[in-house]
């Protein structure tokens, strides 16, 4: 080498042919990278789902607060708010009307004509004097057979049920029966 020339060593990225062992090692590295990408995608998906669930809860809370805010604003501006108030409805079957009044201040809030099933008058029921009805039951004298046996050769019709085996009894709503 002479004084007019200079020599330097440098490193450059150049294509080099891989050996079979290097190719196998690179294939393992590639598989590892593919798995890592898939795992990150899965983690991202799960975190998005968690965030979406948290976001939905937060948005519902905000919506509920906005509804309450609106209700409060309306109450303040109008000076009125809805509350549950006991009311009494009076059904006048003769006039065919219904009158509803508040029990807290006796104010009539509705006065209208009866509709549909409201026109069906309810029957009063007195617990001390319940209505009587009748029922047919097996005769106790002949056990529902209709005859009495004075020996096996001479059956006679039962005198209580006239041979029908059944009698009619009065039954009250309380369940007691009078024969």
Q: In this structure, is residue 125 part of a structural domain?
A: no
How many domains, the chain? 3
Burial class of 97 by CB neighbour count within 10 A (0 to 12, 13 to 18, 19+): middle
Please state, in angstroms and rounded to a whole number, the distance separating the CA atoms of residues 81 and 46: 45
**Residue whose tokens read 């002949």:** 142
Q: In this structure, is residue 5 part of a structural domain?
A: no
Do 70 and 29 belong to one domain? yes
Helix (H) or strand (E) holding 101: strand 97-102
Question: pTM value?
Answer: 0.37
Please state, in angstroms and rounded to a whole number, the distance separating the CA atoms of residues 48 and 56: 12
| pLDDT of amino acid 122 | 64
| pLDDT of amino acid 174 | 53
Give me Rg for the CA atoms of the chain.
48
Do 54 and 92 belong to one domain? no
Q: In this structure, is residue 54 part of a structural domain?
A: yes
Q: In this structure, is residue 142 part of a structural domain?
A: yes
| pLDDT of amino acid 2 | 75
76: domain range?
A: 20-81
Q: In this structure, is residue 3 part of a structural domain?
A: no
Please state, in angstroms and rounded to a whole number, the distance separating the CA atoms of residues 30 and 25: 9
For residue 107, what is the DSSP state?
Answer: -
Do 112 and 137 belong to one domain? no
Is residue 73 within 8 Å of 66, Cβ to Cβ? no
Summarize pLDDT for 93-142 with one digit per residue, the tens: 889 999 999 999 999 999 999 998 887 766 666 666 666 677 778 888 88
Helix, strand or coil, per DSSP, at residue 133 = strand
Do 77 and 32 belong to one domain? yes
| pLDDT of amino acid 120 | 77
Q: In this structure, is residue 74 part of a structural domain?
A: yes
Do 24 and 76 belong to one domain? yes
Do 91 and 139 belong to one domain? no
Do 144 and 159 belong to one domain? yes
User: What does the block give as tokens for 125?
Assistant: 């029921």
Summarize pLDDT for 139-173 with one digit per residue, the tens: 888 887 888 765 556 677 888 888 888 888 776 65
User: What does the block give as tokens for 6?
Assistant: 């200079």
Do 68 and 94 belong to one domain? no
């Amino acid at each position: 080498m002479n004084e007019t020339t200079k020599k330097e060593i440098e490193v450059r990225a150049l294509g080099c042919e891989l050996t079979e062992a290097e190719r196998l090692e690179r294939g393992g590295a590639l598989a590892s990278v593919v798995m890592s990408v898939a795992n990150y995608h899965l983690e991202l998906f799960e975190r998005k789902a968690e965030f979406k669930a948290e976001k939905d809860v937060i948005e519902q809370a905000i919506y509920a607060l906005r509804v309450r805010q609106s209700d409060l604003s309306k109450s303040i501006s109008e000076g009125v708010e809805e509350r549950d108030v006991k009311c009494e409805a009076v059904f006048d079957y003769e006039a065919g009307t219904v009158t509803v009044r508040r029990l807290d201040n006796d104010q009539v809030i509705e006065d209208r004509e009866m509709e549909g099933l409201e026109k069906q008058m309810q029957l009063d029921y007195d617990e001390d004097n319940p209505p009587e009805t009748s029922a047919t039951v097996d005769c106790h004298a002949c056990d529902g057979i209709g005859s009495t046996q004075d020996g096996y050769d001479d059956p006679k019709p039962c005198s209580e049920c006239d041979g029908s085996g059944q009698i009619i009894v009065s039954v009250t709503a309380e369940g007691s029966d009078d024969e």
